[in-house]
Structure 1
């Protein structure tokens, strides 16, 4: 649901009645992942997507039904070999959808969802927990969990904080905080009593975290193109260069920030995490070596450096002399990008971005035509959105 947070937040502020359909699970070659959402208001306006088009019409009808009945429902969609025109995913996958009505006069669920949407829009970390499967009377119940463990709402049948309700809420808070710390959206199965026993309840936990960072070192024309595509992919983009005449906001209007500083000094001072990607475009040893010496020791998702193969070999030699071992050097993507035959800054930026996406999602970078490999990869079992380590 948080993938359409800005629009839904506006709907809440305008007092609209709406229903929201959210992907709970996706199996096989499903086009959208858990958390993807489609919403329909009382006037029939629709935003978002849960399948890339395959089942949108049926989900639209489910949302309208939910608005009429006031009841949350869970529905599965898969591929039907018997009837090519049956509602289903033509790609062959299966998705489970949670459809929840959110009328304007709802005093229990709507305030929690509105708070979650507001947190996402404002860039404040929080995790939205909803009951995606379990007793019908609990379906769709929600609470919002903050990083410090405080929370709003309740998953129980009442807000009286009975022992059973409190236990379920506490379990949900613990699970949500762990997923929030990793920046992940996932489902968790617990008992309705808050333990691992009793009637099972499936929780959908959506993490609202600030966008991942892309830091581009080197204020060159390639950096401008990379900043544009980085923003398109949802990164918070920083361009850093030690030369004030080149590192200007006017030259890089698509960057969120432009920093004038020595690259290694800026990297020492700024915050990075397991989702951060570092792109070194300076190809100048006096900048590259002290920067890469630090970058390759950090738990970031991706480190790439521009330069020829001869430059790369010289760079490796210098980094070895600086004390980096083979495991650290193996994390370096250099020459940066995939082999697209790129020439222009825009083509080169696409090459770099393609490698970043492949590293993030576990892709091979080979053409899909004739290749018997999955179209969609699932790295959630490894490190969630961190995707650290698969960058060799």
Structure 2
């Protein structure tokens, strides 16, 4: 649901009733992961996707029915082979979808609205929803903040110790929020890991991961565009004020004039941050990479020829960088696409970042025996590198 938070927040602000279908379980080679959502409003408008097209029509109808009935339902969709008109996934996978109405008169409306407002505003928040268990609790929702505070309740039906249940769900959701993870967990219905179990889908929404591009060159402009497309908050940094301007990099979220190593020491990074060093000038590169390779970031790549790379390695070793630290450096940066233009080079760099993030090999899928969909973290943007997308 949170992957389409901006649209759904606008619908809430406009007072629209809608139903949202969310992928809650996946097996095989399904195209979308848990948390992917399709929503339909009372006028029939739709946003989002749960399958990339395979079962959208059937899920659309389920949303329309949920709006009319007010009931939350869970449906499964598996592989459809012989009948081309049958409802199913042609990719060979299977998904379970939870369809919940969000109407003005529903008690869960306020919780959904608060969760969507937080996610649309770039705030860190997690939503825990009951996706399997006692029928009376199906679809019940809890909004959990980073400090552990929560809005809503899972109490109802056969559950007597609702307060304990909410506390357990909130602790579980907060732990997943801390890691930017979206996925399903099982807890005991009484909140103490015993009794009738409940399955929760926890969707974590965190601020977008950072991409910091060092070097205000044409390649940086192309990389800023593709970084924004992938859901990163992009900063371009260069020590030269003539080149580091907002006019030259309109697609960057921020342009900073500072020495790269000094800026990196002062700014906040985390395990989802990617650092792209495009300066290929030793006076900038070496002090920057000495710092970068010792930070707990997701990716460090540096541009330059193979000769530049060998020279850079020697300088870094002289500066005290260890072999283990050097092994983290992706240089020359990017995958071998035969790229020449800034745009092609940016695509090469972005492809390597995605492959590194998702565990891909970077080899062509044609003739390969590698999985098409790897088990990785959520998409950049909302959950993100360890899960955006």
Normalising to structure 2: TM-score of the pair? 0.96
Aligned residue among 264, 284, 288 for 1:287:
284
Paired with 2:279 and 2:81, the residues of 1 have a C-alpha distance of: 54
Match of 1:350 in 2: 347
Query: 2:295 maps to which residue?
Result: 298
Question: Residues of 2 paired with 1:283 and 1:20: CA distance?
Answer: 48
Report the counterpart of residue 20 of structure 1 in structure 2: 20
For residues 247-268 of structure 1, the C-alpha deviation after alignment (integer angstroms, 9 at most, x for no partner) is: 0000000000000000000000
3-state SS of paired residue (1:317): helix
Encode CA deviations 1:34-84: one digit per residue, 9 max, x unaligned: 111000011111111000000000000110111111110111111034544
Q: Secondary structure at the match of 1:29?
A: coil
Counterpart in the other structure of 1:127: 126
Two-structure CA RMSD over aligned residues (Å): 1.5
Partner of 1:257: 254
Distance 2:386 2:299 in 1: 9
Unaligned runs of 5+ in 1: none
Structure 2 segments unaligned to the other structure (5+ residues): none
The aligned counterpart of 1:112 is 111
Is the 1:182–1:385 Cα contact (8 Å) retained in structure 2?
no
Quote the residue 1:58 is aligned against.
Answer: 58
Distance 1:6 1:205, change over 3 A: same
Structure 1 residues 7-156: aligned runs within 5 Å: 7-106=7-106, 108-156=107-155
Contact 2:187 2:197 in 1 (8 A): yes
In the aligned structure 2, how far is the partner of 1:224 from the partner of 1:380?
A: 27
Query: For 2:146 and 2:80, how far apart are their aligned partners in 1?
Result: 43
Deviates more, 1:120-129 or 1:249-258: 120-129
1:171 Cα deviation after fit = 0.7
Matched, 1:330 2:306: no
**How far does residue 197 in structure 1 lie from its aligned partner after superposition?**
1.5
> Secondary structure of 1:7's partner?
helix
| TM-score (norm. length: structure 1) | 0.95
Say yes or no: does 1:272 pair with 2:260. no
Higher RCO (C-alpha under 8 Å, 6+ residues apart): 2
Q: Distance in 1 between matches of 2:81 and 2:242?
A: 63
Partners of 2:10 and 2:236 lie apart in 1 by: 32
Provide the residue aligned with 1:234 in structure 2.
231
Q: Is residue 359–residue 387 contact of structure 1 (8 Å, CA) maintained in 2?
A: no
Query: In 1, Cα distance between the equivalents of 2:345 and 2:120?
Result: 32
